[in-house]
Structure 1
Amino acid sequence: MASLGQLYNNKDSGLTTKKTFMVPLAEIYAEEGYNVRELNIPHVEEFRDAFISGEYLPPLAVEVTERGVKVIDGHHRYYGALAAVEMGHEIVRLECKDFVGTEADKIAFMITSSQGLALTPLERGIAYMRLQNQGFSNAEIAKKVKRSESDVLQHIQLNECSPYLKSLVRSGSLNYALAINISREHGVYADREAARLMKKAEDAGKTKITKSIAKPQFNAAKARRVLELLCDAEFSNTNGECLILTDGTSEEINRILTEYRQGIQTDPALTSGEQQPCQTTDESSEECLPVLKMDLINKSVQLWACAAAAFGDKEEFTFFESKFAHSWLADSFEHPTIVVVMPEIILKAKHLMEKYLDSKELRSWLESSVCAAEEIDHVHERMIDVANEAMGDDKSPIKNMADFISLMKGTPTDTWFNIRKLRAAVFASIDTEVK
């Protein structure tokens, strides 16, 4: 039987060569976090079994680095070979081919390669983000990966969703397009809305949030019926604008409208959008969420601490930052379960609240002491600094502001107006107590 080599020797055949190399397995490595695909263990096991049974597998795409031969495409094949070796099967070398191109070309190749598993939406979003970080526009990325520009934009937006929404997408409980819509429509309340929809799906016996659950559609026949009933109605401006219905239609129209309202009810706290001004009526007024720092503190010190920990301490917060703080506090200050708050942010909020309460306690004592009113601000500032130093020392008996105030009661008042004298007096007293 003729071979390709023999055919290649015929100069008129038109054949060309593209070399592959048999590279020792020990010289090949995979860089952690480089592959845009998450490692799929069942897929690795499939390749392991293929190696053991001697099946043909396509060559790995690699590049040579100072460390060795780095895998660009074929990570699952590489780990499958390692798994086969662990089971006692001898694999000395793997077939590899050079990858030629820029870093962006490598990412695009991982996205478009037909040899690997299909990318999940999250993996595709990460890959697009890598290209974007290299300075490529959405249009350029779309051209490079052979997808539409809207596809690129959507998957990049998916990267901006919260970890909770991403976990639902990863588990298959939420379509990525719905996740983007929920994040866009509900902002900082997206996790809470997703949790509500997930519970709604589970109550309905479903394992995922579908479009019908997230955005239920009203019965089309009933919607058409309302239009039919309103067709002969007339507008009147006699006593303000009003709609005059034909006889016998009001009851049916109201019944359908009531059913529609019940079908679209949502928690007002979950809605988002542009900040709306407070609207008042003669009988009642709708309370606006406070955005000024002092307004938040006056409502609740914990509320301000939530906002300051999440967005930085400032004199005025945005409407949505205030909404997030309200949502967090309504869930739980220390142990939120619906609103996703990182542990370090919770600790920061607790620290801010403690510092504020300490400061307030010290000021209250100064206002009731012999300190002159015009000196309180300066004395308070000095004492706060020294108090923080004293309470921050593990060997110090000063554990809280009450301890510090008790110590200050025995400290000469002439030291209060000079921070060096104040610090010396405080730590001299502490040393005496320790001894």
Structure 2
Amino acid sequence: MNQGQRNVKAYFYFLGFVVIFIAFTVTSIYSYLQYSHIRTELIDVTKNNDNQLSAAMDMRVAVRERAILLWRMALQDDYFERDETLQAFYEHGSNYHKSRMLILTSHMDPDEAYLMTTLDKETNKRAPILRDFANKLLEKKDNKDHTQSLNQVLTNQIVVANLLDSMIALQQSQNEYSRYHSAEEMANLLSKMILFMIIIITGGFMFATYVIMTTSKQSQLLEKMNDELEHLACHDHLTGLPNRMLLLQQLERLLSTVHRKKIQAALMFIDIDNFKEINDTFGHDFGDQCLKDLTQNMLKIIRGADILGRLGGDEFLILINEIESSNQMTVIAHKLLESLNTHYTLADKTVTISASIGIYMLSDETTGAKDAIDLADKAMYQAKKSGKNRFVIV
């Protein structure tokens, strides 16, 4: 092979290397740009959908909480408690509108825009009725039964909640579609770039794993937040005991069992004696700690099947499930009085507290939870008038 031939071959090798290098470079750049485009688009769409999903869920929570607060206002007799509940009602309304603005300022497809338009129409149509009913509850001066109006307002809220459920379902389906669509494009890209299949598959697998793990983690976090909100709505923030709303539900269930199985049960209304003196003498922080301690004392006395809850302030309810006779209630009441009879001393000041207990025996004649509580409350006041630190059974 002469020099000329060697030069031609070297040139051919060099040209082949340049062609391969250029092909490799162009293919790599093209693959990177396509992959970056797919990844960016998926992140943007997923981020937008996740923000909309989070906002829709917050709106759903606000609607549910406002319905719960209306129910609570209908049960409250104290004006100041109703006023505080109304403030919370309007705060949830404000949260609803903030979340709504987040959705409106985000990118929406025609289906989302239609749902939001329908939701706004339904909300605007029902909002005046909702506010008017809330204000009527705040201003109620008589004992008028608002059950029918409450049921109508709650029915309206269900319509809004159903629309929000549709929005949430749409966002979830769009997230699934976005992942599916991106995966399909990635598969097409991988089929064209056989020489770089391993790298692209690895990157796609890592990204898909990240998206799935991130979405799963966010779903678990949202579920946990909903559970916490549900717990806060039904439990007392200080003691962790069931609150008035949950106690009424549990008492209705107990009454249903009493009527159905013809068993004996009882309701105990407990009011702490001299508790105001604790707050006035040692301060509210100390008083709160006392309530926690007294709660633990009562939990040690009652059975596992019984339910202890806090109505508010220093008032508690105990639902005694399935007893043999009123004599058993006498034993439980004596133990509770003994556990609640406590002396507190701080800075040479001593305050003695005890409890007055009203006990109402549940029977087939008990018409409802509120009547049972009222009767137990009256029995408690009889115990207070009789000298406190005692119980009365009716």
Q: TM-score, normalised by structure 2?
A: 0.25
More RCO (CA 8 Å, sep 6+): 2
Structure with greater strand percent: 2
Structure with greater helix percent: 2
Q: TM-score, normalised by structure 1?
A: 0.23
